[in-house]
């Protein structure tokens, strides 16, 4: 200014000598629903430009449900405060979407927008975070579209997965144990990792990502980077998108585009935008979503992991829910939906610090999620999901329909001179080979019975061609060996007399030669 003559050099020097703040903080007034407001503002600026935003006199009506927003802010704040001391988790975020319209009803990006200590102005709802197991429903849904069912049996056994490299991939369950044969509905509800990785292999990585995107996920753009770890949360998603995808599930597979705007008018009253309800786009058939909703809303399926009365249980409503937790407890999620409301909650630290051991989604995110959902549903109709009837879904393959060739406590006798050969017990058992009770298993990995390119087609002539077959089969055989099963077909024939002919008593009479010619 001095160089241009607006002020004197003396005035310039005096101005330079005045101490100023090193950083000028923008002063934000008492904004209601600040993260949502900033989200809408960014949308307006991107679409209409900063000049129109600041000088155009726009009149904007949003989709925000003020009562639900106040509730969301309260439960997030209260839940996050409890988690600080107990779990070293200082932040949380919540999004609620109406699945019938796609309208964003609530958005809380942090427990306190104005807190500098936690970078409160960062809207976690639109930041990429790893979803942990909360992404598993999309993978199982993809498997259902290929012909697998909630009854389909997978083996939760120690498994080394082939990766095409020198190293194998050996995932572990949360408790380090194994459950043996489990149905898909149990494996998903209990969040078992090993069956989930198998489900991803059967469903296909690219197909699972494609379906996830069609539901509402906008990330997961590098399939080669994830591999089989995708199903355990190896990619990143945004809470807003994740909730949107769950909202698509809530509507039975029809995606309604998410929106925060009901109407926008310029200073002259001209309508620039207006929400118009649409039929949406069907991205997956309802019958497959029905399988998933049944699985995620049936409490008994998850009881073995989460207990009979967890935060995930609702008796008065049908609620589908899935939790997620990332490695080292850096992210915890609870995602769920009813036919009328989809809600997602994230808990963690903005700087990605690990929380305390055991800080999983069912412990620190579920209480916040439940508190919001339970109060929100009080004035909403108790709609139900379409009914799932397993009797109407038959694939004509035992393993797909939930049947295994195993039988316990079979009364048998071992056939002499035929090692490991048995017959069904009856009166002909003799000698040292008395009746015994044995467990039999002729079970194989699912890859023994299906071709992943055509699961409902003919059984593969040579299942060993599948690169995963040998390792999956090994896990099954070792499991039954450890469980004291005899790995062979269950005996179908009863014992025969000739099976024990070596043990029949023989009676003979020896007559001395001197007496043989005498008559008596």
**pLDDT tens per residue, range 278-294:** 999 999 999 999 999 99
- Answer for the pair 397, 446: CB distance below 8 angstroms, yes or no: no
Task: Determine the pLDDT at residue 175.
Answer: 83
- Residue 401, phi then psi, degrees to nearest 5: -95, 10
- Answer for the pair 340, 381: CB distance below 8 angstroms, yes or no: yes
Reported confidence tier of residue 520, pLDDT bands at 50, 70, 90 = very low
Q: How would DSSP label each residue in 315-369?
A: SSS--EEEEEE-GGG-EEEEEEEETTEEEEEEEE-TT-----TT--HHHHTHHHH
Task: Determine the pLDDT at residue 379.
Answer: 78
Q: Once rounded to an integer, what is the mean pLDDT over residues 85-91?
A: 95
Task: Determine the pLDDT at residue 445.
Answer: 95
The dihedral over CA atoms of 200, 251, 307, 228, expressed in degrees to the nearest 10, equals: 10
- Answer for the pair 476, 160: CB distance below 8 angstroms, yes or no: no
What is the pTM for the complete model shown? 0.87
Task: Determine the pLDDT at residue 514.
Answer: 55
Residue 22 has pLDDT above 80, yes or no: no
Q: What share of the chain is helix, strand, coil (3-state, %, to 5)?
A: 35, 20, 45
Angle between helices 205-215 and 239-250 (to 10 degrees): 90
Q: How would DSSP label each residue in 56-113?
A: S--EEEE---HHHHHHHHHHHHHHHHHHHHHHS--EEEEEEE-TTT-BEEEEE-SS-T
Residue 340 has pLDDT above 50, yes or no: yes
- Percent pLDDT > 70 in the chain is 93
Kindly report the CA angle at 300 between 339 and 448, in degrees rounded to 5? 100
- Higher local confidence (pLDDT), 15 or 406: 406
Q: Once rounded to an integer, what is the mean pLDDT over residues 160-188?
A: 91
Residues 6+ apart with CB under 8 A from 35: 107, 108, 109, 110, 113, 123, 125
Say how many Å lie between the first and final Cα of the chain, rounded. Answer: 154
**How far apart are the C-alpha atoms of 122 and 112, rounded to whole Å?**
10
Reported confidence tier of residue 341, pLDDT bands at 50, 70, 90 = very high
Reported confidence tier of residue 150, pLDDT bands at 50, 70, 90 = very high
Q: Once rounded to an integer, what is the mean pLDDT over residues 377-397?
A: 90
Task: Determine the pLDDT at residue 24.
Answer: 43
Q: Of 51-55, 216-220, 253-257, which gets the smallest average pLDDT? A: 51-55
> Whose structure tokens read 């108790």?
382
- Residue 406, phi then psi, degrees to nearest 5: -130, 150
């Amino acid at each position: 200014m001095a160089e241009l003559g607006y002020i004197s050099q003396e005035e310039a020097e005096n101005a330079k000598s005045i101490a100023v703040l090193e950083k000028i903080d923008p002063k934000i007034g008492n904004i209601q629903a600040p993260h949502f407001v900033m989200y809408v503002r960014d949308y307006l600026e991107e679409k209409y430009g900063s000049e129109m935003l600041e000088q155009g006199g726009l009149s904007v009506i949003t989709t925000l449900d003020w009562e639900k927003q106040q509730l969301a802010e309260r439960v997030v704040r209260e839940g996050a405060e409890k988690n600080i001391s107990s779990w070293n988790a200082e932040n949380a975020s919540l999004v609620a979407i109406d699945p019938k319209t796609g309208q964003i009803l609530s958005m809380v990006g942090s427990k306190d927008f104005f807190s500098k200590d936690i970078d409160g102005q960062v809207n976690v709802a639109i930041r990429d975070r790893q979803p942990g197991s909360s992404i598993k429903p999309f993978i199982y849904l993809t498997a259902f579209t290929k012909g697998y069912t909630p009854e389909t049996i997978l083996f939760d056994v120690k498994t080394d997965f082939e990766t095409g490299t020198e190293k194998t991939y050996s995932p572990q369950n949360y408790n380090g144990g194994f459950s043996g044969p489990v149905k898909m509905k149990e494996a998903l509800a209990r969040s078992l990792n090993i069956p989930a990785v198998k489900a991803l292999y059967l469903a296909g990585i690219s197909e699972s990502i494609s379906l996830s995107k069609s539901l509402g996920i906008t990330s997961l753009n590098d399939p080669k980077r994830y591999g089989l770890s995708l199903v355990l949360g190896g990619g990143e998603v945004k809470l807003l998108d994740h909730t949107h995808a769950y909202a698509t599930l809530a509507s039975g597979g029809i995606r309604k585009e998410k929106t925060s705007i009901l109407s926008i008018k310029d200073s002259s009253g001209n309508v620039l935008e207006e929400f118009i309800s649409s039929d949406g786009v069907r991205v997956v058939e309802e019958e497959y979503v029905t399988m998933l909703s049944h699985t995620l809303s049936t409490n008994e399926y998850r009881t073995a992991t989460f207990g009979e009365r967890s935060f995930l249980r609702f008796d008065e409503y049908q609620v589908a829910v899935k939790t997620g937790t990332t490695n080292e407890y850096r992210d915890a999620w609870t995602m769920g939906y009813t036919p009328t409301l989809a809600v997602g909650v994230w808990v963690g630290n903005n700087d990605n610090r690990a929380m305390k051991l055991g800080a999983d989604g069912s412990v620190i995110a579920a209480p916040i999620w439940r508190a919001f959902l339970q109060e929100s549903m009080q004035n909403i109709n108790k709609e139900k999901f379409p009914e799932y009837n397993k009797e109407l879904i038959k694939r004509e393959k035992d393993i797909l329909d939930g049947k295994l060739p195993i039988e316990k406590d079979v009364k048998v006798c071992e056939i002499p001179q035929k090692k490991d050969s048995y017959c069904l017990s009856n009166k002909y058992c003799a000698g040292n080979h008395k009746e015994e009770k044995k467990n039999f298993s002729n079970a194989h990995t699912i890859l023994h019975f299906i071709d992943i390119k055509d699961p409902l087609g003919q059984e593969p002539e040579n299942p060993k061609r599948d690169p995963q077959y040998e390792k999956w089969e090994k896990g099954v055989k070792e499991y039954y060996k450890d469980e004291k099963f005899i790995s062979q077909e269950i005996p179908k024939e009863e014992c025969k007399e000739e099976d024990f002919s070596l043990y029949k008593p023989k009676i003979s009479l020896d007559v001395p030669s001197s007496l043989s010619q005498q008559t008596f």
